[in-house]
Structure 1
Amino acid sequence: MTLRLGLGLPQMKHFAPGSDVTAVAREAEACGYDSLWVFERTLVPEDPVDGMYGVEGRPWPETFRHIADPLVTLAQAAAVTERVRLGTSVLVGPLHAPFDLARALGTLSAASGGRLVAGFGTGWSRDEYAAAGADFSRRGALLDELLDVCEEVWSPGPSAYEGSRMRLAPADVGPKPQAGRIPVLLAASNSRTLERIARRADGWAPSLTPHPVVARTRAKLRELAERNGRDPDSLTVVQRCSLRLTDKPLDAGRRTHQGTVEQVVEDLAEGVAAGVDEAILDLQAVSRDAAELTDAARALHAAVRKAGM
């Protein structure tokens, strides 16, 4: 199997939101990347209610400050590319008004020629939920409502919906997605969210997930897909990988996707063996500027393909 390679677009504070995004997008498409991706962080609280990823006492990194809006960033990339898919890994779905987000995604799909992939998650920050006026305790239900609204708004013909956050009387809503629908990926960490993927998504979007966990989860998703009458091979696994490249090999205690290009390629091969179909290489946190990011991206792409992946 050929591993699809995605690249994380530069959204962090030390990048220029306009010129760096377009420069990286053009270069990634030119050197052969399959996709470009964005993530979402809406704020960094001075006194957080939750630690990073919901772990008590874990500090938020400085790199989370001033993250550029994901959909604006993707629109910039769409305007200067023709082939690469454009994905969100991930949007914190319940932070958004579902009707507005569904319309924005439909427009972006139409504008990009059907290249959009929508990755959603429920997030972990109560501070972000408070700022959005969303109920953290209902985050799973709010994500389901967003998925329902997206199905209605993206489908042909009039759309109608009534839920806890909105009421849409029968109406013509557009633009519609270019390909008739937008593939949906979901982040997941428990049995309830895995069941949601098996019932109504196109794949799983893990981030910073050890490969043994990826393998076990992929097997569980196959089982759940079959139980729900779906083809398990239709589900894809798109893993976001936080990279750090070094000139010299790191020792046995190194973290996955960190080390020399050769070590990172070995890690990506382990991911393929565990069931990863597409790897998003995120270099922005460790790149000083767009030129350094694109140089590393070119080297990694060439090394992965040379390794036969």
Structure 2
Amino acid sequence: MATLLGLGLPQNKQYDIGRDVPDVAHAAEEMGYDSLWVYERALFPEPAAQGLYGIEGMPWPDSYRGVAHPLVTLALAVSATRRVRLGTGVLVAPLHGPFQLAKAFASLDAASGGRIVAGLGTGWSLDEYAAAGVRPFEERGRVMDEIIDVCRAVWGPDPVSYEGGLTKISPAVVAPKPARPIPILLAATNRTAQQRLVEKADGWLPVGLGAGRLAAQWRTLQDLAAEKGRVEPLQTVMRANAVYTARAYDGPDRGPFQGNVDQIVEDLAAHAEVGFDEILVDLQGSARDAQELKDLAANVYTTARAAGI
């Protein structure tokens, strides 16, 4: 069975969000993509006291200047599409109040007829946590646990009631409800997060940083699921952050999904062999505008399917 293919929607600063998101979403669905995805970057600190991913001295990419809100972007894509699933890959959940986030996801799913996927992560930016003001960065794991629990409660039958550290819902009707149970996927980059995934979530949404490395992480996660007695299979969507170049990249330090279309597809094939259900390809940082993004997305899709992916 072919691996499902998703495409990242245009959120970065070079795009006209109101015009380009519906345009690219509709075009990608017509091309044959199975899903469309957004990510979250709430702000761009200047100067940045903290390095990218919390790594000292690593600069933030310029593409992070002015990223559109993930749920607003998905809302723009809902009415422009009919078939594709629409996911967050990932949304930094602890930057959001649990109840309002759960309600927003439910409303999007109802509007889309049951096509939303909630891909969540805890993030790494201290500046984003300070700006959001929900809870301190050090409490991100606890907040994530509550967000998942609140989502399950809000998406479930009425009357909804819940009492946690951040959220208290007295018995109430909370509508609209999702059209079907919304899958929750977690990025889960450490042991604690992996345990949360196995115990509370529906699947895994890692970033593609090398097929061998991800295969080892996938085996570890499957072993943990078996150890915990999980019966339900873990859904998997891998995020590929592509860096496109018109000519083949021939340097010794070529990273995963860096290079021309053939090289990107070669890496897609290697990662598909790990056994992921789906791969989401984000090409928006490599395009100057929506037309270039659509052309590149069509080329990658056609080449990938011709290669048997």
TM-score bracket for the superposition, by shorter chain length = over 0.9
Q: What is the TM-score normalised by the length of structure 2?
A: 0.96
**Contact 2:52/2:58, CA 8 A, preserved across alignment:** yes
Which residue in the other structure is 1:157 paired with? 158
**Contact 2:160/2:170, CA 8 A, preserved across alignment:** yes
Following TM superposition, by how much is the alpha carbon of 1:72 offset from its aligned partner in structure 2, in angstroms? 0.8
Deviations 1:202-258 (A, max 9, x none): 1111124222221011111211222233236x2122111111233332225311111
1:94 maps to 2:94: yes
| Structure-to-structure mapping, 1:1-309, within 5 angstroms | 1-133=1-133, 134-179=135-180, 181-231=181-231, 234-251=233-250, 252-309=252-309
Deviations 1:78-99 (A, max 9, x none): 1110000000011110110100
Structure 1 range deviating more: 191-200 or 43-52: 43-52
Deviations 1:138-193 (A, max 9, x none): 100000010010010001121111111121111111111101x1001101111111
The aligned amino acid for 1:167 is: K
**Contact 1:88/1:117, CA 8 A, preserved across alignment:** yes
Following TM superposition, by how much is the alpha carbon of 1:130 offset from its aligned partner in structure 2, in angstroms? 0.5
Number of positions where the alignment pairs a residue of Structure 1 with one of Structure 2: 307
Q: What is the TM-score normalised by the length of structure 1?
A: 0.96
Instruction: Give me the whole-angstrom Cα distance separating, in 2, the residues matched to 1:227 and 1:172.
Output: 38
Instruction: Give me the whole-angstrom Cα distance separating, in 2, the residues matched to 1:166 and 1:58.
Output: 36
**Contact 2:120/2:186, CA 8 A, preserved across alignment:** yes
Instruction: Give me the whole-angstrom Cα distance separating, in 2, the residues matched to 1:40 and 1:305.
Output: 29
**Contact 1:241/1:280, CA 8 A, preserved across alignment:** yes
Q: Percent identity?
A: 51
Q: The residue matched to 1:114 in structure 2 has which SS?
A: coil
Instruction: Give me the whole-angstrom Cα distance separating, in 1, the residues matched to 2:16 and 2:244.
Output: 22
Q: The residue matched to 2:273 in structure 1 has which SS?
A: helix
Instruction: Give me the whole-angstrom Cα distance separating, in 2, the residues matched to 1:166 and 1:68.
Output: 27
Deviations 1:104-138 (A, max 9, x none): 10000000000000011000001100011121001
Instruction: Give me the whole-angstrom Cα distance separating, in 2, the residues matched to 1:160 and 1:50.
Output: 39
Structure 1 range deviating more: 239-248 or 3-12: 239-248
Instruction: Give me the whole-angstrom Cα distance separating, in 2, the residues matched to 1:39 and 1:245.
Output: 19
Instruction: Give me the whole-angstrom Cα distance separating, in 1, the residues matched to 2:263 and 2:210.
Output: 15
Instruction: Give me the whole-angstrom Cα distance separating, in 2, the residues matched to 1:210 and 1:201.
Output: 24
Instruction: Give me the whole-angstrom Cα distance separating, in 2, the residues matched to 1:273 and 1:3.
Output: 9
Instruction: Give me the whole-angstrom Cα distance separating, in 1, the residues matched to 2:304 and 2:41.
Output: 29
Instruction: Give me the whole-angstrom Cα distance separating, in 2, the residues matched to 1:221 and 1:244.
Output: 28
Structure 2 portions without partners, runs of 5+: none
Instruction: Give me the whole-angstrom Cα distance separating, in 1, the residues matched to 2:281 and 2:220.
Output: 25
